[in-house]
Amino acid sequence: MLQLADLVVRLPDGRHAVDGVSLALEAGRCLVLLGESGCGKSLTALSLLRLLPEGVTIAGGQARLAEQDLFSLPERQMRGWRGGRLAMVFQEPMSSLNPVLTIAAQIEEALVAHGSSQTVASLLADVDLPPQHAQSYPFQLSGGQRQRALIAMMLAGEPEILIADEPTTALDVTVQAQILRLLRDLQAKRRMALLLITHDLGIAREMADTVAVLYAGQVVEEAPASALFACTARHPYTRALMQVTPSLGRRGQPLSSLPGSVPMAGDWPRGCRFAPRCGQVQPRCRELAPPLEHGVRCLFPLDQAVASPPSIAAQPLADATSTQGAPLLQVEDLCVHYPIRRGLWQRTVNWVRAVDGVSLHLNRGETLALVGESGCGKSSLARALLRLQPQATVRGRIRLHGEEVLNLRGADLHAFRSRAQIVFQDPFSSLNPRMRVGDILEEGLQALRPEMGPSARRQQIERMLNRVGLDASAMPRYPHAFSGGQRQRLAIARALCVEPQLLILDEPTSALDVSVQAQVLALLRALQDEHGLAYLFITHNLPLVGYFADRVVVMRGGKIVEAGATEIVMAAPKHPYTQALLASAPG
Amino acid sequence: MMGIQPTLLISDAVLFLLLAGVGVYVWRSRRSESARATWRRVFAARMGRWSAWVMAFFVSVGVFDSLHFRVAVETPAGQAQQYSGEVLSVLDTVLTPLRTASEKTYSAPLATTLLVKESVTLADGTVARLAPAIAHVHPLGTDKVGQDVLYLALKSVRTGLLIGTLTTLVMLPLACALGIAAGYWGGRVDDAIQYLYTTLNSIPGVLLIAAAVLVVDVQIDAHGEWFNSAAARADLRLLALCAILGLTGWTGLARLLRAETLKLRELDYIQAARAFGVSHGRILARHVLPNVAHLVIITVVLDFSGLVLAEAVLSYVGAGVDPATPSFGNMINAARLELAREPVVWWPLATAFAFLFTLVLAANLFADAVRAAFDPRGAG
């Protein structure tokens, strides 16, 4: 139905971010555009709507829809086609909806714009949003409801093609599953073509009829999903992507490594763009740019039948779990309550019980996964463990090494801080953009190890940088000069500088590409083996838990609903909530 | 050879202290490779270089105008040397031809006659109305009392710079300390500070400033013995005005900084610093302040022109600088009557406008170049 041919997208500085992408969309089918960050997948989608950011231009190619080239339509006509024939659902539903208009008003606006005969009520029914939400404002809805409202708006013009750019990345797993199901149902019912953009192999496997894998601005492999996911990916990159994705089945095995990271737009190597990271690279690959032949862009495509599916039987990890004496961290009946203050004198009128009676323990050298959806209190718990909750009332007992953490004051609190550290989710906000890497790493040492001299500090910093795979040349540079994965390594090095025993990992890989995630996980595993670190691994990603954690604790509404060894919880969850979580995980 | 006596007004002392501070900063950054590289980037940009030259011109005018002295007067032998009551500056000596070449009243730029006609008794005894010839050529004309407008404008530079920098000096610590404290600690600290600036903002600014200036005026008038010259008196009034403008002018920037700090304090790198037990003072100095610096620079420079204009407004209600002090405010204020004349006297206003415009534009461009050079994303 829609034929995109040889799309080239040029950035303001003349580099090409998308370099000859061809795709075909068919009514009633779902094409998944799969790729890591920076491969050009979002720009491809935006080009179809001609909504590229300022300065970014379509430098070549055609997009034929009903014998018309979208790229040569006058803007006036294009405006009618946007939403009318092609519609797009964005990642962040909060910023896609106008906060001061009701849902009904916004859907109505779209209906009027397209002269549609549908009604607000029918559209809301189509997206399974109860009719009483029509008069709600966006902030009154949950993330999933907002995404439904947005989809309803997009359906107002009865589009033939629906483009969804990471529509569920900002949502919890259970909600994500619902939205994906909704998209699939709508697509079938309305005979739309669906172009779904994602970085998540699980989502691709669940949704796609056809998958196009994008790498460095080019389609490197295009194949029917059924063929691709039967583990017969023929391009080394696709194969590697599948092998670096953690899962319960790969427990105990190292993830195969995909070195380096996706090259920046325009910084592409000569010859095959994947050659520098490819395991099967041959001399010719570095010279000759391979064409896309039989759905794969590789001079030496892999055989279809080689790979055998990984063994599914979960193996217990190396026996680090066996408890030697008392646990390192023991939490008993911990409550973190935030006061809600009102009025002139800020009287406390109520409490938000973010964490409400949580007990857990963690041994040396062990990884405990804390799983839960947003708002379940897992981050509050992490901050309370580190005594970073000045605004909240924290009750209960936290013992690290038998020491009552909640009673620590002054010098003792300082000593505690060097024993427990944290790595945050977003490596872009966790490093001060105006400090040099050397200063960032030195900060903890200056505060916690005042007895160390400048040269000793420098040695320690260099040692840690080397340990995380960087070197001393990083020290005079600013964080923005590093990629996401490198920044996360810096954040890990910063925490390790003060030689902690407990490391709280707050979604440490969820902002990273899968290939980089595998590298960071391997690093964390090696560090744990070396130093006997205990990890409290906070995440919402269940396959990752299955791969990485020894034990798992599932949290909901500030309480623990299920706890146990990972193999057992993942294989036979007892609590209905854990079962729902597992059932929702894509893939 | 007549002797001179160097005279140090309070504002001179403050200005030189400020220059010394800049000097120390320059000396220290010369020793640091990264700071040198950053400043090289400022001057490598064409805008940065040009605006720096213009700023340097204005600043040196201001500095030369701050080297004050009094000239010795004839004293009978045997008595202690007496000095004139008039305080002059090095700039005045440089501009002596302009300073002393005064006319009776208005004359247009480069005119040969005064603007107004007078009844003149000619040699043959008849009385004619004509514009008398003037003694000197004035490139930018003369004002009501016949003073050269170029000289006035150059003298006004010091007043403008002082009002801009000294007010900022008073305002900046207040705005930074209170705004960042409110955002960083929140809770009751925030409530108290918000209460303070909301109250301050709800009082009409001009009223508050005028009242404060009048109070200071009364004090100054009551203590004539504090001053040994009219210049010292005018100088104290200028300083008082700066202090008052600063004490009332911090609210806007404080509000901006509070909002930005509220956002920053939740960021992970500040949480990480707290997890390291870094003290609040250090977090504020290393993590918060550098990340709000761009707001401070932009606001301060934009406020600069506002302050000079505030001085004009205050002169209008009689609460500005001393009427004898040359200032852009006084020049603009006088234009109220001059523009209503026929023919229109436009040159004092046009000169004040051109000088102010150049000064503020150069300050803006220079600040922009500095901000860009200190942004690590541009450093590569």
Tens-place pLDDT, residues A258-276 = 787 777 777 788 888 888 8
Chain A interface includes B191 (CB < 8 A) = yes
**Location of structure tokens 């583990």:** A231
Q: Which two tokens stand for residue A151?
A: 């989809």
The first and second tokens of residue A505, run together, are 């990992």
Write down the pLDDT at residue A320.
Answer: 46
Q: How far apart are CA A238 and CA A34, in angstroms?
A: 10
Q: pLDDT digits over A479-531, tens only?
A: 888 888 889 999 999 999 988 999 999 988 888 888 888 888 989 999 999 88
Contact A491 B272 (CB under 8 A): yes
A443 at B interface, C-beta within 8 A: yes
Question: Are the beta carbons of B370 and B43 closer than 8 angstroms?
Answer: no
3-class DSSP state for residue A253?
coil
Cβ-Cβ contacts under 8 Å, A480 against chain B = 376-377
Judge whether residue A323 has pLDDT over 80.
no
- What is the pLDDT, as a whole number, of residue B317? 76
Give the E-state strand segments of A343-419 in sequence order. 347-362, 367-371, 393-400, 403-404
The whole-angstrom separation of Cα A51 and Cα A53 is: 6
Give yes or no for residue B158 having a pLDDT over 50: yes
Give the C-alpha separation, A536 to A192, whole Å: 44
Mean pLDDT rounded to a whole number for chain B: 86
Say what the pLDDT of residue A308 is.
47
Residue B16: pLDDT band with limits 50, 70, 90: very high
Q: What kind and span of H or E run contains A415?
A: helix A410-417
The predicted-structure confidence for A129-147, as pLDDT tens digits, reads as follows 998 889 999 888 888 899 9
pTM of the model: 0.82
Note whether B110 contacts A: Cβ–Cβ < 8 A.
no
B379 contacts A413? CB cut-off 8 A: no
Which are the contacts of B253, defined by CB distance < 8 A and separation ≥ 6?
A: B171, B172, B175, B176, B179, B295, B296, B299, B300, B303
Can you say whether the dihedral through the CA atoms of B320, B321, B325, B326 is positive or negative?
negative
Residues of A in contact with B282 (CB under 8 A): 447
Helical residues (DSSP H) of A217-276, grouped into ranges: 225-227, 236-244
pLDDT tens-digit series, residues A111-130: 998 888 889 999 999 999 99
pLDDT band at A321 (very low <50, low <70, confident <90, very high): very low
Q: How far apart are CA B291 and CA A586, in angstroms?
A: 40
Measured in Å, how far apart are chain A's first and last C-alpha atoms? 28
- Choose among B144, B170, B108, B171: nearest CA to B323: B144
How much is the mean pLDDT over chain A? 87
What confidence tier does A208 reach under pLDDT thresholds 50, 70, 90? very high
Q: Are B141 and B180 in contact (CB under 8 A)?
A: no
Is A150 a residue whose pLDDT tops 50?
yes
Confidence of residue A44 (pLDDT cuts 50, 70, 90): very high
| Cβ distance of B268 and A444 shorter than 8 Å | no
Tens digit of each residue's pLDDT (9 = 90 or more) over A393-405: 888 999 998 888 8
- Strands A68-69 and A57-65, how do they pair? antiparallel
Report whether pLDDT(B85) > 80: no
Q: Which residues of B touch A498 (CB under 8 A)?
A: 276
Instruction: Answer whether B379 touches A (CB < 8 Å).
Output: yes
Residue A310 pLDDT > 70: no
pLDDT band (50, 70, 90) for residue A538: very high
Residues of B in Cβ contact (< 8 Å) with A439: 286
Q: What are phi and psi of A447, to 5 degrees?
A: -80, -40
Percentage of chain A exceeding pLDDT 70: 96
List, edge to edge, every strand of the sheet that includes B68-73: B4-7, B68-73, B82-89
Cis peptide before B343 (omega within 30 of 0): yes
First to last CA, chain B: 61
Q: Where are the alpha helices (DSSP H) in B87-229?
A: 90-94, 96-100, 149-185, 187-202, 205-222
Q: Report the chain B residue with the minimal C-alpha distance to residue A410.
A: B277
Residue B195 parent element (H or E)? helix B187-202
CA distance B52 to chain A (A): 25
- Report the pLDDT averaged over residues B112-133: 81
Q: How far is B188 from chain A (nearest CA, A)?
A: 9
Residue B178: pLDDT above 80?
yes
The whole-number average pLDDT for the span B185-198 is 91
Minimal CA–CA distance to A21: which of A196, A205, A221? A221
- Mode of pairing for the β-strands spanning A534-539 and A502-506: parallel
Residues paired with residue A224 on neighbouring β-strands, in sequence order: A210
- Which pLDDT does position B287 carry in this prediction? 92
- Over residues A139-160, mean pLDDT: 90
**CA-CA distances (angstroms) from residue A270 to A9, A219, A273, A284, A519?**
19, 16, 7, 11, 25
**Residue B104 pLDDT more than 90?**
no
Collect all residues with Cβ–Cβ distance below 8 Å to B133 and sequence separation of at least 6: B112, B113, B114
From chain B, the residues in CB contact with A481 under 8 A are 380
User: Is A388 close to B34, i.e. CB distance below 8 A?
Assistant: no
CB contact B378 to A (< 8 Å):
no
Sign of CA dihedral B12, B16, B21, B25: positive
pLDDT above 80 (res B166): yes
What's residue A314's pLDDT? Answer: 45
DSSP characters for A163-204? Answer: EEESTTTTS-HHHHHHHHHHHHHHHHHHT-EEEEEES-HHHH
* Backbone dihedral angles phi then psi of residue A112, each to the nearest 5 degrees: -65, -45
pLDDT for A311 equals 44
pLDDT (tens digit per residue) in B313-352: 787 777 788 888 888 888 888 888 888 888 888 898 999 8
Burial class (CB in 10 A: 0-12, 13-18, 19+), A449: middle
Judge: A432–B291 Cβ closer than 8 Å, yes or no.
yes
Please give the biggest Cα pair distance in chain B. 97
Mean of the pLDDT values across residues A291-298? Answer: 86
CA distance A125 to A189: 13
What count of other Cβ atoms lies within 10 Å of the Cβ of residue B201?
Answer: 13
- Closest CA relative to residue B129, chosen from B152, B150, B113: B113
CA atoms within 13 A on the CB side of A109: 11
The residue with tokens 């022109």 is B305
Q: Which has the minimum average pLDDT: A43-47, A207-211, A256-260, B236-240?
A: A256-260
The label of the residue with tokens 């100095």 reads B285
pLDDT at A325: 67
Q: Is the pLDDT of residue B237 over 90?
A: no
Residues A328 and A535 sit within 8 Å (Cβ to Cβ) = no
- pLDDT higher than 90, residue A231: no
For A444-461, what is the mean pLDDT? 90
Burial class (CB in 10 A: 0-12, 13-18, 19+), B285: exposed
Chain A interface includes B377 (CB < 8 A): yes
**DSSP at A140:** G
SS3 A498: coil
**Residue A223 tokens, joined:** 């194949």
B33 close to A (CB below 8 A): no
Q: Which residue has the tokens 């949502």?
A: A171
Q: CB A432 to CB B188 under 8 A? A: no
pLDDT tier at A349 (50, 70, 90 boundaries)? Answer: confident
CA–CA dist A30, A195 (Å, integer): 6
- SS3 label, residue A487: helix
